[in-house]
A and B are shown apart, each in its own frame.
Chain A
Amino acid sequence: MATEAKVDPMHQFAIDRIAPLHLGPYDISFTTSAAWMMVAFLLLLVFFALGSKRELVPGRWQVAAESVTGFIDNMVDVNIGPQGRIFVPYLFSLFMFILVANFLGLLPLAIIPGAHAFTITSQFSVTGVLAIMSFSIVIIVGFWRHGLKFFSILVPHGTPTLMVPMIAVIELISFMVRPISLALRLFVANIAGHILMEVFGSFIVSGVHGGLVGWLVSLLSFTFVVAVCALELLIAALQAYVFALLTTLYLNDAVNLH
């Protein structure tokens, strides 16, 4: 019992196979991670299918759906301009997918015995792929629209000629770091919050067995978990927005240079 009560805060990030599946040499088993991606997709599908009734006087659901699309539309309009229209579906998908994934990870499913929420966006493999995808789109759009002139992104306006090589190297590094920072930011924000909640949650459980001081510790930890939960809800929305916004800004660089 004592060994079982010991909580491994990292266990929540482990991926379990649900249905083993192989494609040639690759293991593409349907995992808990894939299942939660599916849940995210289905939720989004239901939400936006109900929200696209195209009524002139919208119902509540339609207003909700339209406010999200309007939010992304506005973000793209402000940061890229009319030329950014074609990126709206991608940025919208990115934002919604990350947002729903973040929120799904915060669902208190652990109160059901044997179940626990899984946060897709706490997987570096997922955030990394999304970041590389965004970065690739930026590079493709940049070279497609501007050709080799896209390299001028490495030289800010007003750089003295003597400084150009050095600045270019620095800018190149900062440019190449973009996908990594993009992926790490989301991943770290999620993993840190979840570890915090798990750790303080385990404090509550172990404190219950430790007399009066233990109860105080439990109470304090509980208060802290509530606060962290609220913070995590904020971070879930914020990180989705930050990911989408940074992708938008990078796309703006590619579309309009600077």
Chain B
Amino acid sequence: MPQITQLPEVFASQLFWLAIFFGLVFFVIGRGLLPKIQSTAISRQEKIADDLAKAQAARAAADETEAAWRTRTDAARADAARIAQQARQESAREAEVRIKRALDEIDANVDRARARIRASVQAARAEIEAVAAEAAQQMVEQLIGVKIDSPDAAKAVSAEFESAARERGRNQNLGQESERPRAA
């Protein structure tokens, strides 16, 4: 067994070179490179843990922002709905007022026109009465030879017209009622 037979002659050399090379392994690698490798691994682990924590925080922040955004949009939506409602009511009210004004105007116009018509009718009637009275005077004179004073003739004709006008006026009033349907 060379390990035993050679031992006396090689032991010093073995010890010497083992001391040198194991020493080199210990000091250069064990104490030189090993801490570097270890610290790299440790710093990586820390970085990973740190990044994970950061990601967690970022997610929480994002959730928070989203919640805030949601409440804000909800509020804005409610606001918008309220404003739209208001606007709708406002415009409805305004439209009502305008319609009312227009209707009043139309009523006024109609009243004016009616007054004018009435005036014309009256003027025409007076004229017709005058003509009718004269005509009646002449007819009576020719028919029975009685000469009637013009005031008497006018009075008689006027009475006759009056009764006819009353009759017509009743009808007209009825027509007036149906002619004006009230808007809302």
What is A's interface to B at a CB cutoff of 8 Å? Answer: 10-11, 13-15, 21, 23, 26-31, 33-34, 37-38, 40-41, 44-45, 48-49, 51-52, 54-56, 58, 62, 65-66, 69-70, 73, 88-90, 92-93, 96-97, 122-126, 129-130, 187, 191
B8-28 interface bits toward A, Cβ cutoff 8 Å, 1 = contact, 0 = none: 011111111110111011101
Instruction: Provide the main secondary structure of the chain A interface.
Output: helix
Closest 9 CB pairs of A and B: A89-B30, A34-B17, A93-B30, A37-B21, A26-B12, A14-B2, A28-B16, A125-B14, A93-B26
Does B184 belong to the interface (CB within 8 Å)? no
Interface residues of B in 24-47 (CB under 8 A from A): 24-26, 28-31, 33-41, 43-44, 47
* Interface footprint category on B: 35 or more
Interface residues of B in 106-160 (CB under 8 A from A): none
Set A28, A30, A52, A56: member contacting B12, Cβ < 8 A = A28
- Beta-carbon contact of A56 and B33 below 8 Å: no
- Beta-carbon contact of A33 and B29 below 8 Å: no
- Beta-carbon contact of A56 and B26 below 8 Å: no
Q: Given A15-B10, A123-B3, A125-B10, is A41 in contact with B18 using a C-beta cutoff of 8 Å?
A: no
Set A23, A31, A37, A65: member contacting B10, Cβ < 8 A = A31
Apart from A28-B13, A37-B22, A123-B14: 4 A-B pairs, beta carbons within 8 A: A48-B34, A89-B26, A96-B29, A125-B18
Does B163 belong to the interface (CB within 8 Å)? no
Listed by A's residue number, 24 A-B pairs whose Cβ atoms lie within 8 Å are A10-B1, A10-B2, A15-B2, A26-B16, A28-B13, A28-B16, A30-B17, A31-B17, A33-B10, A33-B17, A37-B20, A45-B28, A51-B33, A52-B36, A52-B40, A55-B40, A58-B40, A65-B37, A89-B30, A90-B26, A96-B29, A123-B3, A125-B15, A125-B18
- Beta-carbon contact of B1 and A37 below 8 Å: no
Output the least CB separation between B44 and chain A (Å): 6
- Beta-carbon contact of B29 and A48 below 8 Å: yes
What is B's interface to A at a CB cutoff of 8 Å? Answer: 1-4, 6-7, 9-18, 20-22, 24-26, 28-31, 33-41, 43-44, 47
In the docked arrangement, what's the CA distance between A129 and B9, Å? Answer: 16
Set A38, A51, A122, A125: member contacting B11, Cβ < 8 A = A125
- Beta-carbon contact of B18 and A129 below 8 Å: yes
In the docked arrangement, what's the CA distance between A26 and B41, Å? Answer: 45
- Chain B residues contacting A90 (CB-CB under 8 Å) are 26, 30
- Beta-carbon contact of A130 and B29 below 8 Å: no
Set A28, A30, A34, A48: member contacting B37, Cβ < 8 A = A48
Q: Given A13-B1, A65-B37, A66-B41, is A92 in contact with B16 using a C-beta cutoff of 8 Å?
A: no
- Chain A residues contacting B41 (CB-CB under 8 Å) are 66, 69-70
- Chain A residues contacting B6 (CB-CB under 8 Å) are 14-15
- Beta-carbon contact of B37 and A93 below 8 Å: no
In the docked arrangement, what's the CA distance between A188 and B168, Å? Answer: 147
- Beta-carbon contact of A69 and B12 below 8 Å: no
- Chain B residues contacting A191 (CB-CB under 8 Å) are 3
CB-CB nearest in chain B for A35: B17
- Chain B residues contacting A56 (CB-CB under 8 Å) are 43-44, 47
- Chain B residues contacting A49 (CB-CB under 8 Å) are 33
Set A13, A27, A44, A89: member contacting B9, Cβ < 8 A = A27
